[in-house]
Structure 1
Amino acid sequence: MAASAPIIPAKTAPSLPTPLATGGNRQALLLHRCKTVHDLRQIHGHLVKTGAAHLPSVVENLLECSALLLPDSLDYAVKVFGASPRPTTQAYNILIRAYIRNGCPYDSLALLLLMLDRSARPDKHTLSCVLKACSRVFSRRCGEQVHAHALKVGFRSEEFVVNSLIHMYACCGEVGLARKLFDGMSTRGIVTWNAIIAGYFKVGEWREVVELFRSMLDRGVAFDKVTLISVLTACGRLGDLDLGKWIGEYVEANGLKECQNLATALVDMYAKCGEVETARKLFDEMPHPDVVAWSAMISGYTQANRSREALALFHDMQKAIVEPNEVTMVSVLSSCADLGALEMGKWVHSYIKRKNFQFAVNLGTALVDFYAKCGCMDNALEVFKNMPIRNAWSWSVLIQGLASNGQGRQALEVFASMLEAKFLPTDVTFIGVLSACSHAGLVEEGQAFFDNMSKKYGISPRIEHYGCMVDLFGRAGLIEEAYWFITSMAIEPNAIVWRTLLSACKVHKNVKFGEEALKQIVKLEPRHSGDYILLSNIYASVGRWEDAVRLRNQMKEKGIAKDPGCSLIELEGMIFEFFAEDSSHPQSKEIYDKVNEIVTKIKLAGYVANTAEARLDAKEDEKEVSVSHHSEKLAIAFGLMKSAPGTPIRVSKNLRVCTDCHTATKLISKVYEREIIVRDRNRFHHFKDGSCSCNDYW
């Protein structure tokens, strides 16, 4: 290698000791003090001048300084290495490590081949580094070749190499081979245990992670923060709160909470195990939570159905100037979907675009789900079409979205496209497909899909699939068929299946099977208020008022309270909440005046109040007023007051839309020339020009 002229002034040169006089120690010290490539060139030039640049120890020091200590100097290191006539094993190791650190794993593998070609002997550090490169490129084939070479040169029992082999096989998805190596080791240190735990962690085998940790405890093997972080994550995925709490107490007792990664893992574990308050307490104690901690806490609120708090925390995250990542955005979109917060979710979508987030499958699917749950299927379809990569879950979310938005036939067309694209349907896919058939009234098609699940695709029906079939029969008015289907199920029906039958009986005013359904439900979930209300409403719908009152009195005697109807509406980025006959809103007088105006106008269009939906304790002359004050009517009235003419109104309700509100909303959409989208507990209703997307079939 041609040397550049020394830059060190001649008068200072004598003070620089030569490696020949010091054995290289002083020179190594100077090299390690290099702060820039310019400093390195000065010293390197002096070494060339003194004839020491080709000494093995000096080459190693030059390489270590240029390849590992200084940033952006890898090219210089490669030149130093190339100028060495006979690089030592240590020199090869330094450059191999440098390649890996700089994201060039293939170059490190090529360097090993060069090393073997030159008959240089790799040591345990060489093989360990190269195995790390194999892990980075997920190349099991290369890893196996390195493994064979390790056996050939006698490193079969070298713990350092075996640990790297375990890590390599695990990264390549061969955790079984990694476990075989692990089980064959006579002695295992903490690095070995962490390597196999990390292997199971990478493939999501959470139970194995926990069992391995318990084995460590039983054998008295020491563990560290790395171990605990993996195990806490596994506890969160498994809902193993007992072990998670034990680790939490250990962390507290040993003063380890200052480790941010460990504290974050604790927050994530408690949040995923439903201990959201404990998770928040730990989160608030963190001095500077990073994006992972914020995301874990937001996700915890989302999973606990505390979507308002999730969005509030996201706002706090923005104030703290912490950049969200994909995980954060998936949770935020899920909360927006839960609340029907369309404007907030649209802002998130635009933020994703502005920040050029990688449009990964999880994020794209979350966007599709969000738009679908806000009733914006055109947007959901557009996002889906623009996704660079899709998986079966993405297709399933779109199918379910179309089904719940009253586009059952289009949902089945998407399912056909999914099969054409060579994606195998999952059990979740078929929930969407059967739901599409149910909402579209396609009984024969639904039966065929249900049969093909197991016959053609080998998917055993779960309770959700049976529930879809009961819903399919029930919506079509085939109440008796639905009942006999339940009694012939291959698995024990749960309360939800019987409740689905009860809901169908409510729609079709079938007292006989409604009574039988409630009898079965009470055995399974005796204190669910909605079931008593449904049968009570069935009695009321056929004029059996005494039975309806008797059932309500039974509820009071048993201390079963009725779940209040609650409707949400988003306006100008804010969520407003209304309860039936609520007067807590600051503008409640104006809202009720608007309701009276609405009722007056829709009566002129043919509306007649269905007083069977009124409170049973309401007097006869109060029943019409009672039904006009249902929560969705209050929310719609507020929407008409506060939104611009012609703009859609979107409402989310916690219960099923009653018959009276359904009839009234159809007429409101016509009289006020507004599209009104109502998401109830079961599906979406798109009201427009006096009709509904469900075709009065819900």
Structure 2
Amino acid sequence: MGFTIPISPAKTITTATTITQFPENPKTLILEHCKTVEDLKQVHAHLIKTRLLYSPAVAHNLLESAAILLPEPMDYAVSIFHALNTPSSPAYNIMIRGFTLKRSPQEALHLFDKMLENCVRPDGFTFPCVLKACSRLRALEEGKQIHCQIVKSGFVSDGCVDNSLIHFYANCGEVGVARHVFDGMPQRGVVTWNSMVSGYAKSGCWEEVVELFHSMLEMDVGFDEVTLISVLAACGRLAELELGEWIGKHIEANGLEGNTTLMTSLVDMYAKCGCVDTARRLFDQMARRDVVAWSAMISGYSQASRCKEALLLFHEMQKANVEPNEVTMVSALSSCAVLGALETGKWVHSYIKKNLKLTATLGTALVVFYAKCGSIDSAIEVFERMPQKNVLSWTVLIQGLASNGQGKKTLKLFKLMLKRNIEPNDVTFIGVLCACSHAGLVDEGRHFFVSMSRDFGIEPRIEHYGCMVDMLGRAGLIEEAYQFIKNMPVKPNAIIWRTMLASCRVHKNVEIGEKSLKHLVKLEPTHSGDYILLSNIYASVGRWEDALRVRSEMKERGIKKTPGCSLIELAGIIHEFFAKDNVHPQSEEIYTATENMMKQIKLAGYVPNTADARLEAEEDDKEASVSHHSEKLAIAFGLIRTPPGTTIRISKNLRICTDCHNAAKIISKVFKREIIIRDRNRFHHFKEGSCSCNEYW
């Protein structure tokens, strides 16, 4: 009997293929010609009419097409399955596989239970299918029960079943059990080794991945591209550059550059190992670059603190019409946060709203970005709109509020966090203690320092001790801070002593400042900032000879001062300024604007603090020296390049000096602008002649 199967979309007039004789085994016909449910229904009708459907082989072909090959839901496949008189294990296997494939693993397990109830004996194909469903659900207990059935059924030495067990246990976090299964296998091919390597990789057991790969090499098991992808991931996490380079040479020698996934893994490995330029060279050579490749390279630049290059590549990705994913956006936001690139970050946020789901990871990255750009209200707004929040989400907002000088709001948020039964971690307490430090809440800080170990079982780390030293030092309790360091149960590091030295600079304590530098010279003898701090302490009390002596010691030891650098973003472009810098294309215009700005604020009461000038500057040049600090140049540029009333946002790599702080306050009043400066330590929000720090910085 002849019948037709349309081979083009409905409602399109075209020639249909007429089959004059139905083949004895219709598998090829069903699998190759049935592209839609309508096609399949015609075949189904013919099979019922000719009673061929009673042949198990034919019925299974039809079922496989409906359950697995066609993208439609499982409804039609279920109707075929229920019409079978006595479904055998292959029929159950197809359905279990189909449910798992189409994101219904719970239905797959339910059908497996029915299979056992109906006394249909599972075979070697059943267990891998149902274990995959357990893996998707992370159903550990159910998987263990199935493991028992595998042992009872005698399939324990079946390679395919054992591989599925390894994958299941590893995916459920039981990598030790997966290894036990692996070690008990009498024969292990490359697929089995790959299952174990992949299991370790998914569990983040990177050292075990490398160790297992070395075993593969020693035992001459052989490996394939799947193996290398997992091993390269481990090399990146462990900074195992030597092994990663060996794999890179193997890829080149064997002509495997065409494997996009493998090459992306190689790019990611080099980037994570700090070889960003090598990663970029390989990235540029790739014939095809998907979103994962672009994200790996952008992330590499971001992690290497080469944030301008990360954003430039992000813009190239947009031009190449490659749709970014969550990983891309997190890296882009991280780079925007470091550079203070508010406008670019806002565009990223807009894209996320339109195209991506606001996950906890993306939401947290946005909170960090806005907080580091000084837009703390926007950070709070994102946080409040996040559908899911974790301890990291709460912690980054606490840190953001603290660094923006909102100490009381920080402590209020921390109390709300505890009320919501979110358990704080050690990083949360760093944020809380920083808030106490920046807001001068000494008694509260002492309370939280004791509370973290007493009430939450969190032993203080060196960072927590550093927060306490900073808090006491900022409050002028220099002697207490010094004794606190001496009584610490852990050895103070350079950051602790540098914090102490910075407090001595603020409060002009020469004696403890000198002691602090002695400790610092032993720990980090070439850090220029330490010598500058002591030199500034001497200068602040009029000991100019000692100040010059310290600077001379720096020169003798070949230690160069880190130049102050300020960044401002305008129209999506990052502009960079250094003190006395004339590299900028509009340099002449900027210096003219700076001079005019300084004249206007002098009329409003500004008096230059020449103590912040370069020590080597002549007396009559000291005023010009302080007027050309990098943040003043950046502010002047912002004034002439943005409309009146626009907020000016500056990022600086060093601590803002006293003169620039005083100048920024008066500039904000004279020019009626809000100026936000993020220095190395915190944010300063200047508005109408005052600063958010309340002179406590």
Q: TM-score, normalised by structure 2?
A: 0.95
Q: 1:7 to 1:76 in 2, by over 3 A?
A: farther
Distance between the aligned counterparts of 2:27 and 2:404, measured in 1? Answer: 71
Identify the residue that residue 432 of structure 2 maps to in structure 1. Answer: 433
8 and 460 in structure 1: CA distance in 2 versus 1, 3 angstrom threshold: closer
Equivalent residues in 2 for 1:324-363 (5 A)?
324-355=324-355, 357-363=356-362
- In the alignment, the residues of structure 2 paired with residue 594 and residue 46 of structure 1 have an alpha-carbon distance, to the nearest angstrom, of 87
Shift of 1:236: 1.4
| Residues 7 and 570 of structure 1, relative CA distance in 2, 3 Å threshold | closer
1:419 aligns with 2:424: no
Q: Which residue, 16, 19, 38 being the options, matches 2:21? A: 16
2:65 aligns with 65
Shift of 1:214: 2.5
Q: 1:619-654 deviations in whole A, cap 9, x for unaligned?
A: 100101110110001111111111111221111111
- Counterpart of 2:53 in 1: which secondary structure? coil
Question: Where do 1:443-458 residues align within 5 Å?
Answer: 443-458=442-457
Distance 1:154 1:244, change over 3 A: same
1:498 is aligned to: 497
The letter of the residue matching 1:246 is: W
Tell me which amino acid in the other structure corresponds to 2:277: E
- Aligned residue for 1:204, secondary structure, equals coil
What is the aligned partner in structure 2 of residue 273 from structure 1? 273
The answer to whether the aligner puts 1:459 opposite 2:458 as a matched pair is: yes
Q: What SS does the aligned partner of 1:490 have?
A: coil
Cα separation, 2, equivalents of 1:611 and 1:30: 90
The residue number in structure 2 matching 1:652 is 651
Which residues of structure 2 form unaligned runs of 5+? 7-16
Aligned positions, number: 686
**Aligned counterpart, 1:125:** 125
Aligned counterpart, 1:484: 483
1:166 aligns with 2:171: no
Q: Structure 1 residues 625, 29: CA separation in 2 closer, same or farther (over 3 Å shift)?
A: closer
Instruction: Provide the secondary structure at the position in 2 that maps to 1:33.
Output: helix
SS at match of 1:53: helix
The secondary structure found in structure 2 opposite 1:560 is coil
Aligned to 2:125, what secondary structure does the other structure show? Answer: helix
Q: Secondary structure at the match of 2:582?
A: coil
Match of 1:529 in 2: 528
The separation in 1 between residues aligned to 2:99 and 2:508, in whole angstroms, is 74
Aligned pairs for 1:254-273 (under 5 A) are 254-273=254-273
What letter is aligned with 1:308? K
Aligned partner of residue 231 in structure 1, secondary structure: helix
Aligned to 1:204: 204
After the TM superposition, which of the residue ranges 608-617 and 166-175 deviates more from structure 2?
A: 166-175
Given that 1:7 and 1:45 are in contact with CA atoms closer than 8 Å, whether structure 2 keeps it comes out as no
CA contact (8 A) 1:197 1:212 kept: yes
Q: Is the 8 A contact 2:2 2:20 kept in 1?
A: no
Counterpart amino acid of 1:140? L
Q: Give the whole-Å Cα distance in 1 for the aligned partners of 2:380 and 2:19.
A: 76
Instruction: Map Cα deviations across residues 113-144 of structure 1 (whole Å, 9 max, x no partner).
Output: 22222222110110110110111112112212
Larger mean Cα displacement after TM superposition, 470-479 or 57-66: 57-66
Determine if contact 2:673/2:687 at 8 Å carries over to the other structure: yes
Give the CA deviation at 1:476: 0.8
Contact 1:5–1:45 (CA under 8 A) maintained in structure 2: no
The correspondence of residues 462-473 of structure 1 with structure 2, limited to 5 A, is 462-473=461-472
Aligned to 1:613: 612
Deviation, structure 1 residue 14: 9.6
How far off its partner does 1:695 sit?
1.2
> Partners in 1 of 2:531 and 2:166 — Cα distance?
58
SS in 1 for 2:384: helix
Match of 1:569 in 2: 568
Q: 1:29 to 1:371 in 2, by over 3 A?
A: closer
2:152 is aligned to: 152
Residue-by-residue CA offset, 1:579-620 (whole Å, 9 max, x unaligned): 101122232222222222222222222221111111111110
Relative to structure 1, is the Cα distance of residues 14 and 664 closer, same or farther in structure 2, using a 3 angstrom cutoff? closer
Aligned residue number for residue 392 of structure 1: 391
Structure 1 unmatched ranges of 5 or more: none
Shift of residue 226 of structure 1?
Answer: 1.6
Amino acid at match of 1:16: Q
Distance 1:212 1:81 in 2: 44
State the 1:461 CA deviation. 1.9
Contact 1:6/1:45 (<8 A) preserved: no
Could you tell me how far apart the structure 1 residues matched to 2:595 and 2:23 are? 99
User: Contact between 2:73 and 2:102, CA under 8 Å: does it hold in 1?
Assistant: no
Structure-1 separation of matches of 2:160 and 2:141: 20
In 2, distance between residues paired with 1:480 and 1:222? 65
SS at match of 1:217: helix
Q: Which residue matches 2:9?
A: none
SS of equivalent to 1:551: helix
| Secondary structure at 2:52 match in 1 | coil
Q: Secondary structure at the match of 1:124?
A: coil
Per the TM alignment, residue 538 of structure 1 is displaced from its structure 2 partner at its CA by 1.1
Identity over the aligned pairs, expressed in percent?
A: 63
CA contact (8 A) 1:127 1:150 kept: yes
Aligned residue number for residue 282 of structure 1 = 282
Q: 1:7 to 1:568 in 2, by over 3 A?
A: closer
CA–CA distance in structure 1, aligned partners of residues 595 and 32 of structure 2: 83
Q: Hey, what's the Cα distance between the residues in 2 that align with 1:590 and 1:669?
A: 21
1:685 aligns with 2:684: yes
Instruction: Find the residue that maps to 1:678 and give its secondary structure.
Output: strand
* Letter paired with 1:423: I
Question: For the structure 1 residues 195 and 276, does the alpha-carbon distance in structure 2 shift closer, same or farther, using more than 3 Å as the test?
Answer: same
Report the counterpart of residue 408 of structure 1 in structure 2. Answer: 407
Rounded to whole Å, the distance in 1 between the matches of 2:587 and 2:106 is 69
Amino acid in the other structure paired with 2:673:
R
Distance, in Å, in 2 between the alignment partners of 1:571 and 1:400 is: 27
Deviation at 1:169, TM superposition (A): 1.9
CA-CA distance at 1:213 after TM superposition: 2.2
Aligned counterparts of 1:665 and 1:13: Cα–Cα separation in 2? 84
Partner AA of 1:453 in structure 2: M
Amino acid paired to 2:89: T
Match of 1:514 in 2: 513
Q: Alpha-carbon deviations, 1:439-479, whole Å to 9, x = none?
A: 01111221221222222222222221121111111101111
CA–CA separation in structure 1 for the residues paired with 2:188 and 2:548: 71
Asked if the contact 2:3–2:19 (Cα under 8 Å) also holds between the matched residues in 1, the reply is no
Deviation of 1:18 (Å): 5.7
8 Å contact from structure 1 (residues 18, 50) kept in 2? no
Which residue matches 1:625?
A: 624
- What is the DSSP-based 3-state SS (H/G/I as helix, E as strand, rest coil) of the residue aligned with 2:496? helix
How far did residue 358 of structure 1 move?
1.2
SS of 1:677's equivalent in the other structure is: strand
Q: CA deviation at 1:15?
A: 4.8
Instruction: Measure the CA separation in 2 of the matches of 1:550 and 1:381.
Output: 48
Task: Measure the CA separation in 1 of the matches of 2:75 and 2:339.
Answer: 54
Q: Which residue number corresponds to residue 225 of structure 2?
A: 225
Match of 1:215 in 2: 215
Deviation at 1:531, TM superposition (A): 1.2
Alpha-carbon offset, residue 245 of structure 1: 1.8
TM-score, with normalisation over the residues of structure 1?
0.95
Q: 1:14 to 1:610 in 2, by over 3 A?
A: closer
Q: Which residue of 2 aligns with 1:237?
A: 237
Q: Structure 2: which amino acid aligns with 1:261?
A: T
Structure 2 contact 3–18 (Cα < 8 Å) conserved: no
* Conservation of the 8 A alpha-carbon contact between 1:66 and 1:76: yes
Aligned residue for 1:110? 110
Greater CA drift, 167-176 or 434-443? 167-176
Give the aligned residue type for 1:503.
A
Query: After TM superposition, where is structure 1 displaced by more than 6 Å over at least 4 residues in a row?
Result: none
- Of 430-439 and 486-495, more deviation after overlay is shown by 486-495
Once the 2 structures are TM-superposed, how far is the Cα of residue 320 of structure 1 from its aligned partner?
Answer: 0.6
Cα distance change of structure 1 residues 342 and 33 upon mapping to structure 2, 3 Å threshold: closer
AA matched with 2:649: R
Residue 33 of structure 1 and its aligned partner are, at CA, apart by 3.0
Which stretch shows the higher mean deviation, 479-488 or 333-342? 479-488
Provide the rounded CA distance (Å) in 2 between the counterparts of 1:414 and 1:219. Answer: 57
1:587 is matched by which residue type in structure 2? Q
